[in-house]
Structure 1
Amino acid sequence: QFKDVATTTLWPNVLTTVAELGTTSFQTGIEVLGGWKIISLFAIGFALLVSKKGKGHVFVFYSIPWLIATFYAASTSLRFALFLSMSSSIMLGVTLSLIIKYLLAITESTIKINKYWSLVFSLGICALLMVPSFTAGYEVAHFRTPSMCDSWYNSLKVIEADSEDAIITSWWDFGHWFYSISNRRVTFDGGDQERRIHFVGRTLSTEDEQEAINILRMLNCGQEGAYNYLLKQGYNEYDAYNKLMEIIHNPLPPEDEELAKLTHCEDVIPQYFIVSQDMVKKAGVWSHFGNWDFNKARMYNDVTIKGLTQENFVEKYDESPNTYYEIKNTEADQWISDWYGYFNQFYCSKVNETFDCGNFNYNTETKEHNADNIYSIVYLEDGELVEDILGPEGGASIILTDGISYLVHPVLAKSMFTRLFFFDGAGLEHFIKFSDMETVNGERIIVYKVDFGGN
């Protein structure tokens, strides 16, 4: 239930996209335990415990339910695999202890060798049994590299050096880095996201710079305070959100002075905005939240939670019965908002007015090209972003640069993230490039300083 969507609230649920909260298979659970060899060891240990006199039966009575419970928890979420490691490691230790004692007794009574040599022999057998697990663990550790590097560290330190107080906005999963290294505030991090997953996702997804800057100003002034204020004024979730977006799209602050302090404050804190290579792969997530359709969320909630009948649904929303059928037969996360993204990466070189991308060529002057099913081509011309519409029915757009180019969903073709990351903020008035660094893997980290007044 912690990953339910459109049940108790119309807002998106960040837990649906947390990787370690993903479900796993029975086989994966077995692999987490160490494979069938380790399971066999457990069975041997339980058999030895049951065969012994004393309190072994009590241990078996408690340990089996514990193992089953932690195994079930690990199967529902990868994050809970840690619990499985605790129960399984204790049981493995007990099992190995019993096997060693059993082998010592056998060797002393039959082979008649010194008990110390028997102990060495027994430990050797146990060590051999553990080789596969140690090998697998070593392979994981050997190929694991930290995401934090000098480029990230330096990018955050220049923010600290440039400001006495500031707010850093980017996607939430690196928020703890930003806070701990730069010693500056963050919009959100791994411990607290709430409704900001939508607002920051919207900032990254929108093509409207003014909308993006007004959202950032609102978050700077009072985070989610404006929305909470509207709720206290009697608005429901849906109407409060629409009212807030109306304010965001209005160039003038609201007449309500208390509300204006939360959306259009004048004493804004210095703001920095970070876009980085990892966010290209995460586009499906932040665009999903940023393009969250609150009207669809309301429909879904009415039908699945409040039990709105088809007849009343059609009358209330002026929608067809097919829409009602879709709601009844589609997961909320899939129906309310799509998952957009940057699909394929390729290299292009520009000679005069022609982009040569190997199998694809495009002339920005004549508009000649050899692509099929392409909605639009996006490129930079004289410092301004240009979008040439090729086919309204096309399923993808192409971002062209003299270097790395991308096939992208049309929704993100001219998004703020596209403009800030792929085109260095060209043509934007409120985002001033402050830092541009590259990791040893060639991944860019770009920091922008936000100018709420416009340069």
Structure 2
Amino acid sequence: MSKKKLAITITIISIIFLVGFILRVESTHLYGISSDEKAYYQDQNGLPYMYEPDSYYNYRLTKNYLEHGYMGDVKVNGTEWDFHSYAPSGVPMDYPPLIVYLAALIYKFINLFASVPLLVVCFWLPAFMGPLAGVVAYLFVKKYTNNYGAAAAGILAVTAPLYFFRTVPGWFDTDMFNVFFPILVTWLFVEAVTLKKIKNQIVLAISAAFAMFLFALAWNGWQYQFYILVLFTSLYILWGKIRGMNVKNCFYVLLTFFAVTTLLVGVFAGFLDLINLFESPVTLIGMKSGQGLWAPWPNVYVSVSELGKPSFYEVVSQVGMTFFMSILGFLWMLRILMNKKFKKQYLSKMSNFIYLLLLFWTLMGAIALQQGYRFIMLLIPPMVLSSGILVGIIVEYSKILKKSERFPIFKDKTYLFHVLALLILFVVSITSVVLVFNNFDVLTPVPNDDMWDSAVWINNNTSNDTIIISNWGYGHVFTAIADRPVSFDGRTAYIETLPLRQFDSSYKFGSESPSTSRECWIDHAFATDNQTLSVGIFRMITTSGDMAYITLDKYTKNTTQSVEILNSILGVNEETARSILINNYSLNEKQADDILQYTHPIHPRPFVIVTSLTDLNRGVAIFKFGNWNFNEAKEGNCIYSTGNFLIKGNTLNSDNGVAMNLKTGDVKWNGKHPYSLISVENGTLKKQKIDKSSEFSIAVLWNRNRTVVIDKTLENSMFMKLWVENSNETIFKPIYRKGAVTVWQYK
């Protein structure tokens, strides 16, 4: 490469990186939040709180690694354990470590020159990693087309909406690797296939395998890119054999890639990761099934928005303009490759292998969309590459203008061709940048001052063994900032570990724990109006975890009956519970005592409950799973709706259909009167019966401008008492309040 070409390459790479980086930095201004509210979402460093709860999980693991050299809290018999998650039992540490290693390394390096908090390093890291995907996209496409197309691929990669918003500062999660590594691995793999000398092929195949190994350390879903390359190349070899083609190169590259990848993963990541290679797709399919993997317990994963099937609009909006450009790119490439003259002129270095691989990659990404919204990410790399090649083709076609008699200006002034090419690149780039910039308002941090301060208060005012019960989405925030264990967090039932449990002795109860039963019990404790049952469930979960139902299942051999039994004893004292177990369910005294040690512990562990008025939508899942019908394997069916209201004159209108005449007091939901009206204002609760025949009640939270419509049978549920009404008249007392957040303790 000449010095001029090298300088051009370095310049383009720098521009791609800077576009991605500067745009990401710009996102920190919280454009979607009014100026007077921005401070509410900013930490003590003046930075926004991180957007994704998982970011705080990664932060905590990095902190652990820096403090004692491994990600877990402690080592038990040589195995790392995380006792902050899924308390009280905790879980063996199983998590891809690359994000932790990288953050720790950068933190150590930066602090050689200045004192920078770890949280700040974690906050900014994605802004530096995200643009690197554009660099490898440029290098990949550069071989097959001109610099204009390659630069377009780089710009489109760093501005692909879903990838962009998951690599902004404050999104400290493994998503930062999920476009970079697939492109890098595929680029090295394709280069290996296209080389002539076997020695060079082997070297690049090993490089591709090493990159795949790094990807395995970066993300639990690395297997999908591995499958795409292995499956496609195997099919290509088979097709080539049938057609009498020489496919030895492909075979040697595939064999080397497969062998070295499995060797590196097996030796350095562990044998269990190899098992995951083959078991993970089966687990993912089970996660999406109606019954789930823990039937008859409910499949709580259906409530995870990322695992919901995306609409066509969502796919297009999250991939960006690349979606349509890539389709046109595939069609245009096909037209060129089918004509030898065109191929030589416009895509001389493009082979059928590369084209079909990109097409296969895209189709596999489209199929993966059936498994959830988050798999849109798999579509971005191949579509970005196809779009870049499309721009390159357009620029090449525009060279016709140099020979055109109709446009002599291009013939006389050849530099105008480069101006036109730059204009094409500029239009593509500025359009993708504007599309992203116009959506900055979607970025709102999950934590806020109220939640952060409550976590700090818990850290300063509770014993170290106190367990926090909160919405699972906030669990990672509390484990990191309050430094207290939580009953469950964002990893929920640790479904990623399910394929490994039968091979790992650390999982003493196999698939039974962790499981979705945890969320089901906690939701039931909030959904019930039986206060003693509620505290009994919380006491059981925080002291003995899953042991009560696991032990009872051994005697009943029937989970549905075990749940029925526990519901009948958790709300009564130990003596009554023993009588119920022996007289009503025919357990002997030893079996009864075996159960009671977990349901009615002598030394219950302290716990606090955290509720937030900003999270009232959580009620949907709480009533769905908390009222689960085990006999019919059916979710609870009840009325629940939340909304935000505005007042104009004497009329209150909420976006969930609640309307109220403030002068007359007449209130309706979708044109119907409620059973009762619950008014909450300045800590005062007022209830008014309206229509006894109605099936729902309406709650108006005057200080929060919120309305809640709820099934009248759930009007006295613990969720209503604690989350909505913030009532002092329950078995729990508030021990800390800050804005929307309340911390509760058993009286």
Where on the TM-score scale, by shorter chain, does this alignment land: which range?
0.7 to 0.9
Shift of the 204–359 alpha-carbon distance from structure 1 to 2, 3 Å rule, reads: farther
Measured in 2, the distance between the counterparts of 1:156 and 1:113 equals 70
Distance 1:434 1:116 in 2: 73
Q: Does 1:189 align with 2:489?
A: yes
- Distance (whole Å) between structure 1 residues aligned to residue 354 and residue 402 of structure 2: 27
**Partners of 2:432 and 2:638 in 1: how far apart?**
37
Which of residues 268, 288, 296 in structure 2 aligns to 1:3?
288
Shift of 1:19: 1.0
Cα contact 1:378–1:413 (8 A) shared by 2: no
Once the two structures are superposed, the pairs formed by residues 300-449 of structure 1 within 5 Å of their partners are 336-344=635-643, 358=662, 361=665, 373-378=673-678, 390-399=690-699, 406-429=708-731, 431-438=732-739, 444-448=740-744
Task: Indicate the RMSD between aligned Cα atoms, in angstroms.
Answer: 3.3
Distance 1:379 1:214, change over 3 A: farther
Structure with greater helix share of residues: 2
Partner residue in 1 for 2:606: 270
Per the alignment, residue 628 of structure 2 pairs with 292
Match of 2:309 among 18, 23, 36: 23
* Higher normalized strand content (fraction of residues): 1
Aligned pair in 2 of structure 1 residues 113, 410: CA closer, same or farther (>3 Å)?
Answer: farther
Is the CA contact 2:613–2:741 (under 8 Å) kept in the aligned structure 1? yes
Following TM superposition, by how much is the alpha carbon of 1:229 offset from its aligned partner in structure 2, in angstroms? 0.9
Taking a change above 3 Å as real, the CA distance of residues 30 and 372 of structure 1, as seen in their structure-2 partners, is closer
Contact kept, 8 Å, 1:340 with 1:411, in 2: the verdict is no
Change in CA separation of 1:117 and 1:3 when aligned onto 2, cut-off 3 Å: same
Matches of 1:3 and 1:339, distance apart in 2: 23
Partner of residue 304, structure 1: none
Give yes or no for contact 1:344–1:408 (8 Å, CA) kept in 2: no
* Partner residue, 2:597: 261
> One-letter code of the match for 1:52?
K
Kindly indicate whether the alpha-carbon contact (under 8 Å) linking 1:215 and 1:248 is maintained by their aligned counterparts in 2: yes
Aligned equivalents of 1:388, 1:342: Cα separation in 2:
19
Which consecutive unaligned segments of at least 5 residues does structure 2 have? 1-284, 405-409, 494-515, 579-588, 651-659
Q: CA deviation at 1:379?
A: 6.3
C-alpha deviations, 1:193-226, integer Å up to 9, x for none? Answer: 4112211111211112111100000101122211
* 1:77 counterpart residue number: 372
Contact residue 45 and residue 96 of structure 1 kept, 8 A: no
1:236 maps onto 2:532 in alignment? no
How big is each residue's C-alpha offset from its partner over 1:223-258, in whole Å with a ceiling of 9 and x where there is no partner? 221111112234211111112212213322545333
SS at match of 1:282: helix
- For 1:15 and 1:113, locate their aligned partners in 2 and report how far apart those are by CA, in whole Å: 65
Mapped to 2, the partners of 1:446 and 1:265 lie a distance apart of 27
Report the Cα offset of residue 11 of structure 1. Answer: 1.3
Deviations 1:401-424 (A, max 9, x none): 775664432133111122123433
Write the distance in 2 (CA, Å) between the matches of 1:402 and 1:127.
50
Displacement after TM superposition at 1:264 (Å): 1.6
Q: Which whole-Å CA distance do the structure 2 matches of 1:360 and 1:421 have between them? A: 28
Q: Distance between the aligned counterparts of 1:342 and 1:217, measured in 2?
A: 30
Q: Report what 1:367 is aligned to.
A: none
Query: Hey, what does 1:145 align to over in structure 2?
Result: 444
- Secondary structure of the residue aligned to 2:729 is coil
Give the letter aligned to residue 288 of structure 2. K
Cα distance in 2 for residues equivalent to 1:135 and 1:402: 38
CA deviation profile, 1:290-321 (whole Å, cap 9, x unmatched): 11111222xxxxxxxxxxxxxxxxxxxxxxxx
Q: 1:19 to 1:65 in 2, by over 3 A?
A: same
Q: Is contact 2:638–2:711 with CA below 8 Å preserved after alignment?
A: no
Distance 1:248 1:149, change over 3 A: same
Q: 2:324 aligns with which of 36, 45, 49?
A: 36
Query: What secondary structure does 2:631 align onto?
Result: helix
Match of 1:170 among 470, 484, 501: 470
| 1:113-133 Cα shifts (integer Å, max 9, x gaps) | 787764453132023134333
CA distance in 1, matches of 2:425, 2:419: 10
Contact 2:326/2:383 (CA < 8 Å) preserved in 1? no
Tell me the CA shift for residue 185 of structure 1: 0.7
Structure 2 counterpart of 1:311: none
Between the aligned partners of 1:77 and 1:291, the Cα distance in structure 2 is 26
Establish whether residue 124 from structure 1 lines up as the match of residue 423 from structure 2.
Answer: yes
Distance 1:218 1:423 in 2: 25
| Counterpart amino acid of residue 432 in structure 1 | K
Output one character per residue of 1:356-409: Cα deviation in whole Å (capped at 9) or x when no partner: 9616538xxxxxxxx9643234468xx998866554431211336775664432
Question: Is the contact between residue 275 and residue 447 of structure 1 (CA under 8 Å) also seen in structure 2?
Answer: yes
Separation of aligned partners in 1, 2:466 and 2:412:
73
Deviation at 1:137, TM superposition (A): 1.4
Structure 1 residues 221 and 116: alpha-carbon distance in aligned structure 2, compared to 1, 3 A threshold: farther
Deviation at 1:10, TM superposition (A): 1.4
Read off the aligned partner of 2:353 and give its amino acid letter: V
After TM superposition, the structure 1 stretch with the greater mean CA deviation from structure 2, 403-412 or 69-78, is: 403-412
SS in 2 for 1:374: coil
SS in structure 2 at match of 1:52: helix
Q: Does 1:201 align with 2:501?
A: no
Structure-1 separation of matches of 2:475 and 2:402: 60
Q: What is the alpha-carbon distance in structure 2 between the residues aligned to residue 58 and residue 80 of structure 1?
A: 25
* Partner Cα separation in structure 1 for residue 482 and residue 741 of structure 2: 15
CA contact (8 A) 1:378 1:397 kept: yes
Secondary structure, aligned partner of 2:289: coil
C-alpha separation between the residues in 2 aligned to 1:26 and 1:359? 45
- CA offsets per residue over residues 77-100 of structure 1, 9 Å max, x none? 211001011221222233334444
Q: 1:223 aligns with which of 526, 533, 545?
A: 545
**Residues in 2 aligned to 1:192 and 1:210: alpha-carbon distance in whole angstroms:** 25
Q: Does 1:154 align with 2:490?
A: no
The answer to whether residue 343 in structure 2 is matched with residue 52 in structure 1 is: yes
Instruction: Say if 1:185 and 1:276 are closer, same or farther in 2 by CA, change over 3 A.
Output: same
Q: What CA distance in whole angstroms lies between the structure 1 residues aligned with 2:521 and 2:477?
A: 21
Structure 1 CA distance for aligned equivalents of residues 563 and 383 of structure 2: 48
Instruction: Choose 78-87 or 144-153, whichever is displaced more.
Output: 144-153
For the residues of structure 1 that align with 2:594 and 2:419, how far apart are their CA atoms?
77
Q: Note the alpha carbon deviations across 1:168-200, whole angstroms, 9 max, x for none.
A: 111212211121121111111111241122111
Work out the CA distance in 2 between the residues paired with 1:191 and 1:402: 35
1:421 and 1:7, CA in 2 relative to 1: closer, same or farther beyond 3 A?
Answer: closer
Deviation digits for residues 421-449 of structure 1 (CA, Å, limit 9, x no counterpart): 343332123x22122222xxxxx11111x
Q: Does 1:135 align with 2:423?
A: no
8 Å CA contact 1:22, 1:77 repeated in 2: yes
What is the distance in 2 between the residues matched to 1:357 and 1:265? 52
Which TM-score applies when normalising by structure 1? 0.76
How many angstroms apart in 2 are the aligned matches of 1:114 and 1:263?
A: 86
Percent of pairs with identical residues: 23
The whole-number CA distance in structure 1 between the counterparts of 2:604 and 2:565 is: 22
Aligned position for 1:68: 363
Amino acid at match of 2:306: E
| 3-state secondary structure, aligned to 2:296 | coil
Q: Is the 8 A contact 1:373 1:393 kept in 2?
A: no
